[in-house]
Structure 1
Amino acid sequence: MDFEILKQQIEDAAKKAFLEMYEKHSREQVYSFALYSDEGAMTVCPAANTLKMLEAADEDDALYYKYEPAEWAYEMEGADDEFNAICSLLRAELDQHCEDDEWFEDFQARLYSVCVEVLEKLKNEDFFRQITGQDIFLIFTVSDYEFEKQDLKNIIVRLNDNEYKSEYLEWMDTWGN
């Protein structure tokens, strides 16, 4: 698989998805955007959340609802055809190598890395700020999978130069306490 081509496809799809979500939900104050995959590296999907959705969150779990894409209002919404094509491409590649664990681990790591790189590129280009006029919380996550704590911290620091970063890192410090 040519990961540079995949990276461009994911970037184009992410931009389109965010634009579509923002167009539909800007009145709800979109504050976050994520790309996420699964442990089997078969999918890449977008997610976004809004401040309006957070109003309904239980105060005790407010940070969880604020920062956990699995709980966000808009999952797998936007650039449907583009993300479906990406997922089909990933599954086809996986089908060709289904018995090779070493190949899979490299493939999975490269896919996850590409997703983080795409979000970082969009952040560095001020893509989200140009559309919303404000900072957006960015994250890459994987369903049914836990990153090592330091790896997750690195992702958060890499993708966020804003107040969300410090709040998320402070919240992380409470985990397991």
Structure 2
Amino acid sequence: MDFEILKQQIEDAARKAFLEVYEKHGAEGIYSFALYSDEGAMTVCPAANTLKVMENADEEDALYYKYEPAEWTYEMEGADKEFDIICTQLRAELSKHDDDDQWFESFQAKLYSICIEVLEKLKNENFFTNVTSKDIFLIFAVSDYEFEQEDLKNLIIRLNDNEYQHEYLDWMATWGN
């Protein structure tokens, strides 16, 4: 698999997905965008959430709903065709290497790294800010998978140099307490 081509496909799909979600739901105050995958590295999908949705969040769990992409309202919305093509390619590549654990671990790590690099590139280009005129919380997540806390902390710092970073890191400090 040509990872440079895959990276460009993910970047193009992420841009399109965000623009589509913003066009449909921008008036609701979009504050977040994520790319996420699964532990089997078979998918890449977008997710977004809005401040309007957060108005109804239970106060006790508000930060969880604010920062957990699996709970966001606009999960798997935007650039449907583009993300379907990406997921089909991933599954085809995985099927060629069914029983090779070492290959899989390398593939999975590269896919996750590409998704993070795409989000970072879009952030550094001010893509989200130029569209919304405000800061957007960015994250890469993996369903049914937990990053090591230090890795997650570094990811949040890397993708967010805004008020969301501080709130997320403060929230992380409460985990397990």
- What TM-score bracket applies, with the shorter chain setting the length? over 0.9
Return the alpha-carbon distance in structure 2 between the equivalents of residues 62 and 79 of structure 1: 28
Opposite residue 65 of structure 2, the aligned amino acid is Y
1:111 matched residue in structure 2: 111
2:3 matched residue in structure 1: 3
Matched, 1:173 2:173: yes
State the secondary structure of the residue aligned to 1:49: strand
2:19 matched residue in structure 1: 19
2:157 matched residue in structure 1: 157
1:59 matched residue in structure 2: 59
Q: Which ranges of 4 or more aligned residues in structure 1 deviate by more than 3 Å?
A: none
Return the alpha-carbon distance in structure 1 between the equivalents of residues 136 and 161 of structure 2: 9
State the secondary structure of the residue aligned to 1:21: helix
Q: Deviations over 1:95-141 (max 9, x none)?
A: 00011000000000000000000000000000000000000000000
Return the alpha-carbon distance in structure 2 between the equivalents of residues 98 and 10 of structure 1: 24
Q: Considering only aligned residues, what root-mean-square deviation do their CA atoms show, in Å? A: 0.3
Return the alpha-carbon distance in structure 2 between the equivalents of residues 166 and 2 of structure 1: 36
Structure 1 alignment gaps of length 5 or more: none
Structure 2 alignment gaps of length 5 or more: none
Return the alpha-carbon distance in structure 1 between the equivalents of residues 27 and 124 of structure 2: 25
State the secondary structure of the residue aligned to 1:48: strand
State the secondary structure of the residue aligned to 2:36: strand
Matched, 1:142 2:142: yes
Return the alpha-carbon distance in structure 1 between the equivalents of residues 22 and 53 of structure 2: 14
Paired residues, number: 177
